[in-house]
Amino acid sequence: MDMYGYVGMAETWLGFVMNIFCFSYIHWKPPPSKNDFLIVVKWMRILDASIVFFYGILSMPKPIFPTCVIIIYGPVKFLGPVVSNLAVGAGLLSTQAVTVAILISYIVRHNVFVRGVKTFDFIYPDKIALSLYITFVMIPFFPLWSQILLDRDEIEETFFVILGQISVGKNKFRIKES
């Protein structure tokens, strides 16, 4: 594993442990006042920890810059290309899950502080906007889940033109001098 892998793995474990610690702390030592906002924050720690665990620890993705290629070299790769592909897609969609949680927390705060109603009392425009956001924001990610499976002979003969030529060998990437 190169330096990118070591730094990425350290950040992943740190994120996983910190999310579990925050959830445990909020769960075992709750604040004195019952706070509905804390419910959203507390359970988002579990979602964040599971995303970090699945995408960072099990998948171990490595982007190949400046292309739009991600190599999976974690334990998920042994489950086959379809599972690896779904792992990349789940990692890309994880940003949307966090964004939706933030959006819900803003709607909840609007309900309490502006409208003066119960915390999770969503009106129809809120429900429609949230549904449309969840549905339409995911659409651009679906083409990125495509998989390209090449034979070993095709990989050895394939050249990508990026700032010169990069040839893909059996296990190495090297820049060819022009």
Q: pLDDT tens, position by position, for the chain (178 residues)?
A: 677 778 888 888 998 999 999 999 988 988 787 777 777 778 888 888 888 888 888 888 777 766 666 777 788 888 877 777 777 777 777 777 777 777 777 777 777 777 777 777 778 888 888 788 777 777 776 666 665 555 555 554 444 433 344 444 444 544 444 4
Same domain, yes or no, for 95 and 157? no
| Structural domain that includes position 95 | 3-147
Q: In this structure, are residues 52 and 12 in contact, taking their beta carbons and an 8 Å threshold?
A: yes
Same domain, yes or no, for 104 and 170? no
Characterize the bridge pairing of strands 69-72 and 159-161: unpaired
Q: In this structure, are residues 45 and 26 in contact, taking their beta carbons and an 8 Å threshold?
A: yes
Q: In this structure, are residues 101 and 44 in contact, taking their beta carbons and an 8 Å threshold?
A: yes
What pTM was estimated for this model as a whole?
0.61
Same domain, yes or no, for 107 and 175? no
- Count of CB atoms situated within 10 Å of the CB of 115: 11
The pLDDT > 90 percentage for the chain reads 7
How confident is the model at residue 1, as a pLDDT? 64
Same domain, yes or no, for 34 and 89? yes
How confident is the model at residue 25, as a pLDDT? 92
Same domain, yes or no, for 22 and 76? yes
Cα separations in angstroms, 84 against 79, 92, 141? 7, 13, 15
Same domain, yes or no, for 27 and 111? yes
Same domain, yes or no, for 99 and 122? yes
Query: How many domains are there within the chain?
Result: 2
Same domain, yes or no, for 74 and 155? no
How confident is the model at residue 56, as a pLDDT? 82
How confident is the model at residue 165, as a pLDDT? 44
Same domain, yes or no, for 30 and 92? yes
How confident is the model at residue 67, as a pLDDT? 63
Whole-number Å distance between alpha carbons of 93 and 33: 34
How confident is the model at residue 66, as a pLDDT? 63
Same domain, yes or no, for 39 and 87? yes
- Quick: pLDDT tens for 121-131: 778 888 888 78
Same domain, yes or no, for 72 and 152? no
Whole-number Å distance between alpha carbons of 11 and 66: 22
How confident is the model at residue 24, as a pLDDT? 94
Same domain, yes or no, for 159 and 131? no
Alpha carbon 51 to its chain's center: 6
Q: In this structure, are residues 88 and 72 in contact, taking their beta carbons and an 8 Å threshold?
A: yes
